[in-house]
Amino acid sequence: MPPIAAPRGTNDLLPDASSAWRWLHETHARVVESFGYRLVDSPIFEHTELFERGVGTSTDVVEKQMYTFTDRGGRSLTLRPEGTAGVLRAVMAGNALAEVRPARVHYAGPMFRSERPQKGRYHQFQQVGIECIGERAAELDVEVIEAGWRFITALGLADVDIQVNSLGDLEDRQRFREALLAYYRPLADRLCDDCRRRLEVNPLRLLDCKRDAAPAAAAPLITDSLSATSAAYFDDVLSGLRAAGIAATLNPRLVRGLDYYAHTAFEYWHGSLQGSQNALGGGGRYDGLAEVLGFASTPATGYALGVERLLLVARQMATVPPSPPACEAVVCSVEPPQAAIAADLARQLREAGLRVVLDALDRKLDRKLRAADRLGASAAVIVGEDEARDGMATVRDLRQRTQRRVGVAGLVAAVRATLASPVAG
Ligand code: AMP
């Protein structure tokens, strides 16, 4: 029987890769918590309706990519394809805004989309993100863009290109929609099937066409449809970014084709990512979403970044810190009668805060020491018959290949000294 394989489009996280993953998550938490964002978590599955309404039925994500199933009670549930709708639902339902406004929250976790798997695009992937919920202010858009930028920079990824645009408010977009329809209708025969449908359902998404970029190249720009108020809001965002020392590229073709998006939209691009997948992530202001989900109208802004893509770029740029070894010291019994003493010494060392593997298996000391090397340990503590009899242990420096005997009372200090000793050159 062949061994069972992982499902297509998924990744396993094994020990050698997990420290990079943890580094990324810890860096994200540290950076966004320095802005006052606090961790939240929401379910991995939600009522399908949350995403139909919250992401939009005319999007590729909802039309083609959701993992939807019926539970035993006949309810339609969906594995979350993105984090914002669920986090907003959680914050609103938990009445978090009654205490502080805006609520600043961050999240991290797996998302699910059944896209065609390819490099940097999976069925299960991870995102980290923040949401700032409860106020509309250009300063908050700037804060969110800056927090994401500081996080990416803290990962050592220089040369991030921040693309920004304004989608205006509902009226601006209505004007823009009409301008788009006037432009696209005469071209209808030349459009791909998807775009002909978009023409009817969601004209803004015509600009996202991945099959033929030519029609979009000459299409009207949303920036030309902005009212004076919306244009002034966007100017405030841009000057806020300048004041924060953040270079951003104006991209009037960056759109998010849903009604509840408003004003600021942005993406973080990195040159080392190819083509349509050059975005590490993005976000924007989504003032209409809470209402679409049935809550009181509540402005909000946020971003989501793809963990696999960030790690891909960090690996390419060699900014990932080396994995720490599995342990600092290995405690080895020489023969089975010393196993219990070795276990006790390992416990003492762990209580003193050291990372310690116990090797009390019935196998040769040579093998145990080779295994200790492979674990990356710097010290081995060896308990043989003599040591056990005399209340001693041998502390071996695995880097310098020296060793000495110490009384068990001085073991912690001796192991610490060995760990602190300079590595032989
Ligand atoms: P989106 O919610 O589509 O704007 O996605 C935000 C970010 O999540 C993207 O820029 C990617 O970094 C990441 N992402 C989205 N879909 C996938 C996927 N299928 N596989 C891996 N990463 C993804």
Position of tokens 């009384």? 407
Among protein residues, the one with the nearest Cα to ligand 1's atom 1 is 281
Q: What average pLDDT does the chain have? A: 93
d(CA 271, CA 382) in angstroms, rounded, equals 52
What mean pLDDT do residues 364-390 have? 97
pLDDT tens sequence across 116-140:
877 778 999 999 999 999 999 999 9
**Ligand 1 atom closest to Cα of residue 279:** 10
Q: Which of 60, 329, 65 is nearest to 195 (CA)?
A: 60
Among protein residues, the one with the nearest Cα to ligand 1's atom 12 is 306
**Ligand 1 atom closest to Cα of residue 283:** 4
Quote the Cα angle for 323-324-330, to 5°. 135
Q: What CATH homologous superfamily does 329-420 map to?
A: Anticodon-binding domain (3.40.50.800)
* φ and ψ at residue 335, rounded to 5 degrees: -135, 160
Determine what percent of the chain is predicted with pLDDT higher than 90.
Answer: 79
Position of tokens 């976000």? 283
Tell me, what's the pLDDT at 245? 95
More confident residue, 229 or 118: 229
Q: What's the gap in Å between 277 CA and the centre of ligand 1?
A: 8
Tell me, what's the pLDDT at 249? 96
Tell me, what's the pLDDT at 275? 64
pTM: 0.93
Beta strands in 237-299 (DSSP E): 248-250, 264-270, 279-285
d(CA 28, CA 129) in angstroms, rounded, equals 9
Among protein residues, the one with the nearest Cα to ligand 1's atom 16 is 121
pLDDT band for 71, please (50, 70, 90 cuts): very high
Q: What's the gap in Å between 5 CA and the centre of ligand 1?
A: 24
Mean pLDDT is lowest, of 58-67, 217-226, 412-421, for: 58-67
What mean pLDDT do residues 333-362 have? 98
Position of tokens 């209580």? 351
What mean pLDDT do residues 214-240 have? 93
**Ligand 1 atom closest to Cα of residue 65:** 19
**Ligand 1 atom closest to Cα of residue 306:** 12
Tell me, what's the pLDDT at 276? 58
pLDDT band for 67, please (50, 70, 90 cuts): very high
Mean pLDDT is lowest, of 33-47, 50-64, 156-170, 358-372, for: 50-64
Q: What's the gap in Å between 281 CA and the centre of ligand 1?
A: 6
DSSP letter string, 217-234: HTS--GGGG--HHHHHHH
pLDDT at 205 over 90: no
Among protein residues, the one with the nearest Cα to ligand 1's atom 18 is 121
Among protein residues, the one with the nearest Cα to ligand 1's atom 17 is 121
As given in the structure block, the two tokens for residue 53 are 């309404």
Q: What is the CATH number of domain 15-169+227-316?
A: 3.30.930.10
pLDDT band for 424, please (50, 70, 90 cuts): low
Among protein residues, the one with the nearest Cα to ligand 1's atom 2 is 82
Q: What's the gap in Å between 110 CA and the centre of ligand 1?
A: 11
Among protein residues, the one with the nearest Cα to ligand 1's atom 13 is 306
Determine what percent of the chain is predicted with pLDDT higher than 70.
Answer: 98
Measure Cα distances from 209 to 10, 60, 178, 262, 354 in Å.
27, 11, 18, 21, 55
Tell me, what's the pLDDT at 147? 98
**Pocket around ligand 1 at a 6 A CB cut-off:** 82, 113, 115, 120-122, 125, 127, 279-282, 304, 306, 308-309
Please determine whether the domains at 15-169+227-316 and 329-420 fall in the same fold group of CATH: no
Q: What's the gap in Å between 178 CA and the centre of ligand 1?
A: 30
pLDDT tens sequence across 154-198:
999 988 999 999 999 989 999 999 999 999 999 888 888 888 888
Tell me the domain boundaries of the chain.
15-169+227-316, 329-420
What mean pLDDT do residues 99-113 have? 96
pLDDT at 213 over 90: no
More confident residue, 272 or 152: 152
pLDDT tens sequence across 255-284:
875 667 899 999 999 988 766 568 999 999
Helix (H/G/I), strand (E/B), else coil: 52: helix
Q: Which of 9, 194, 205 is nearest to 113 (CA)?
A: 9
**Ligand 1 atom closest to Cα of residue 82:** 2
Q: What's the gap in Å between 122 CA and the centre of ligand 1?
A: 9
Is beta strand 124-133 parallel, antiparallel or unpaired with respect to 300-306? antiparallel
Which of 62, 88, 111, 115 for mutating ligand 1's site (highest number of atoms within 8 Å of CB)? 111
Q: Hey, which residues does 281 pair with through a beta bridge?
A: 268, 305
What mean pLDDT do residues 307-324 have? 95
Q: What's the gap in Å between 334 CA and the centre of ligand 1?
A: 52
Burial class (CB within 10 angstroms; exposed 0-12, middle 13-18, buried 19+) of 284: buried
